[in-house]
Amino acid sequence: MNRNDIIARCQQNDSTLLSFEDRGPWGDRKWRGNCSGWIQAFLMWKYHTKKFSELFAGSGTGYDVTKDMGISYVGADLNPNPVRPGILNVNAVTDEVPEEFYGADQIFMHPPYGAEIKIPYAGSMYKDPTGELSKSDLGQMPWDIFMKTLNEIVMKYYSAMEPGARMSILMGDVRRGGFHSMFTDIVKPGELEQVIIKAQHNCVSDGRTYTNRNFVPIVHEYIMVLKKLAPYLINFQLPQKYEMDTRDSKTSTWRDVVYAALKKIGRNASLEEIYSEIEGHEKAKSNMNWQAKIRQTLQMSNLFVHDSRGVWAVAA
Ligand SMILES: C[S@@+](CC[C@H](N)C(=O)[O-])C[C@H]1O[C@@H](n2cnc3c(N)ncnc32)[C@H](O)[C@@H]1O
C-alpha cells in the first residue's frame, strides 16, 4: 500500500478512539489473535517513528506495515520459524532483549491475552514437539502468572529502550473465568503518555444471541503509550491487590462495621452476638467504650431497627 494513502487514512482517524473496520493488507488474518495493521501504521505515523521494534510479532503484520511506510524494522516472536526475514526467534521469558532492538524509537507489543481466552500459540500456530515452547507461551499461562510474566518482560524491554523512545502495548480485557483487565494489571513504566481505545469489529459475540445477557459485551481493546524519560531512572506503577477486614480498617465507620456484622450474622441478632463479631478487631481495640459505641451506632442510624426484646436487625 502506498505510504501517502496510509497516512491519509491515519489522519482521518486521529483521535483517542481508533476505529478501522478492515485490518489492511498486512500480516495474516489466519494467525489467531492477529491485529489490524492500521494500529501499527497509526502509531508509526503519529510518533514519526524511524526504527520500529516489535515483540510478539506473530504473523508479520508490523513488519509488512513498516515496508509500506519505509521504516526500519526488527521483530521477535517465540515462533521457531519466524514468518518474515526481519523477525527473530526470541523467547521473551528466558532470553535477553536482542541487540537489534537497541536504538528503536518505538517498541510495539501485542502480547497474547493469557490462557483464559484459549488462544495458545506453541503447539497450535507452530510445532512444539517437546512441549518446551508451551511452557514459555504467554497464551498458555493462567491470568496471574501471565500478568506477572508479562510485567517482567515489559520492564526488561523498557530497560533496553532509548531515552525519549515510546513503548506502545495493544491489550484487552477478558471475560472468561471471571473478568480480567490487562489495562489495570499491567506495569506502567515511564510516563503514561496516552491511552487509546481501539474499537473491535467483527467480534465473535456480534453474531451470538443471548437469552439472559447480564453483562456488557467487550467491543474494544486498549493501546497504552509509555515514554521513557531518562537513561538511568526507571519509574513505574505496578498494580497491587490488597485485602483487609472492614473491622480492622481505619476508613470504615462504626456504622459500616455494625452493618457488616448484622449482614454476616444474616438474621436478627442480640447485642451480645454483635459484640462478639467485632470484639478483638482494631475497631474495638481502639475504643475503650466500644460496646457503648455499638449501642449508640445502632440507636442513632435509621439503617437499624430493634424489637421489644432488644434484638437488632437491618431495617427493611
Ligand atoms: C497476539 S499474537 C501477536 C499477533 C500479531 N500482532 C499479528 O498481527 O500477527 C501474540 C504472539 O506472541 C507470541 N509469544 C507468546 N509467548 C511468547 C514468548 N515467550 N516470547 C516471544 N513471543 C511469544 C506468540 O507466538 C504470538 O505470535
57-100 pLDDT, tens per residue? 999 999 999 999 999 999 999 999 999 999 999 999 999 999 99
- 273 band by pLDDT with thresholds 50, 70 and 90: very high
Whether the pLDDT of residue 154 is over 60: the answer is: yes
Residues 180 and 215 in one domain: yes
pLDDT recorded at residue 215: 86
Please choose, from the candidates 292, 312, 303, the residue with its C-alpha nearest in 3D space to the C-alpha of residue 255.
303
Whether the pLDDT of residue 205 is over 70: the answer is: no
Domain span holding position 141: 3-237
What pairs with residue 55 in β-bridges? 76, 109
Residues 205 and 309 in one domain: no
Please choose, from the candidates 99, 84, 233, 238, the residue with its C-alpha nearest in 3D space to the C-alpha of residue 157.
99
pLDDT recorded at residue 214: 83
Residue that terminates a domain, selected from 237, 266, 293? 237
- Closest ligand 1 atom, residue 36 Cα: 8
From residue 15, how far is each of 50, 177, 195 by CA, in Å?
Answer: 22, 33, 11
The residue whose CA is least distant from atom 3 of ligand 1 is 58
Residue that terminates a domain, selected from 193, 208, 237? 237
Residues 126 and 176 in one domain: yes
Q: What is the number of H-type helices and E-type strands within the chain?
A: 10, 14
Gap from CA of 66 to ligand 1 centroid (Å):
18
Residues 194 and 281 in one domain: no
User: For all residues of the chain together, what is the average pLDDT?
Assistant: 95
The residue whose CA is least distant from atom 23 of ligand 1 is 78
pLDDT recorded at residue 311: 96
Residues 226 and 277 in one domain: no
Q: What CATH number should be reported for the domain holding residue 75?
A: 3.40.50.150
Please compute the mean of the pLDDT values over residues 244-256 and round it to a whole number.
98
The structure's pTM equals 0.91
Residues 224 and 253 in one domain: no
Gap from CA of 83 to ligand 1 centroid (Å):
12
Residues 216 and 269 in one domain: no
Give percent of the chain with pLDDT exceeding 70.
97
Whether the pLDDT of residue 290 is over 90: the answer is: yes
Q: What is the DSSP string of 235-267?
A: -EE--------GGG-SS--HHHHHHHHHHHH-S
Q: Which residues line ligand 1 (CB under 6 A)?
A: 27, 31, 33-35, 56, 58-59, 61, 77-79, 90-93, 110-112, 121, 136-139
Residues 145 and 284 in one domain: no
Q: How far apart are CA 43 and CA 106, in angstroms?
A: 9
Gap from CA of 54 to ligand 1 centroid (Å):
10
Q: What is the DSSP string of 263-314?
A: HHH-S-B-HHHHHHHHTTSHHHHT-TTHHHHHHHHHHH-TTEEE-TT--EEE
| Amino acid letter, 221 | E
Residues 254 and 210 in one domain: no
Q: How far apart are CA 87 and CA 108, in angstroms?
A: 13
Gap from CA of 76 to ligand 1 centroid (Å):
8
Name the residue of 26, 138, 223 whose CB sits within 8 Å of the most ligand 1 atoms, as the mutation to test its pocket.
Answer: 138
pLDDT recorded at residue 203: 63
Place of cell 503509550: 225
3-state class (DSSP) for residue 190:
coil
Higher pLDDT, 218 or 204: 218
Residue that terminates a domain, selected from 237, 264, 287? 237
Gap from CA of 57 to ligand 1 centroid (Å):
6
Gap from CA of 193 to ligand 1 centroid (Å):
24
pLDDT recorded at residue 207: 63
Lowest mean per-residue pLDDT among 11-15, 113-117, 143-147: 113-117
Residues 118 and 189 in one domain: yes
pLDDT recorded at residue 202: 72
| Amino acid letter, 53 | S
Q: How far apart are CA 137 and CA 150, in angstroms?
A: 11
Please compute the mean of the pLDDT values over residues 12-32 and round it to a whole number.
96
Query: In terms of C-beta density within 10 A (0-12 exposed, 13-18 middle, 19 or more buried), how is residue 291 classed?
Result: middle
Residue 162 DSSP class? P
Structural domain count of the chain? 2
Q: How far apart are CA 18 and CA 33, in angstroms?
A: 18
- Closest ligand 1 atom, residue 57 Cα: 5
Residues 297 and 220 in one domain: no
- Closest ligand 1 atom, residue 54 Cα: 6
pLDDT recorded at residue 206: 59
pLDDT recorded at residue 211: 73
The residue whose CA is least distant from atom 8 of ligand 1 is 34
Length of the chain: 316
pLDDT recorded at residue 212: 74
Residues 178 and 281 in one domain: no
Q: How far apart are CA 152 and CA 313, in angstroms?
A: 50
Nine-digit cell string for 164: 525519549
pLDDT recorded at residue 308: 84
Q: What CATH number should be reported for the domain holding residue 250?
A: 1.10.10.10
Pairing of strands 87-89, 188-189: unpaired
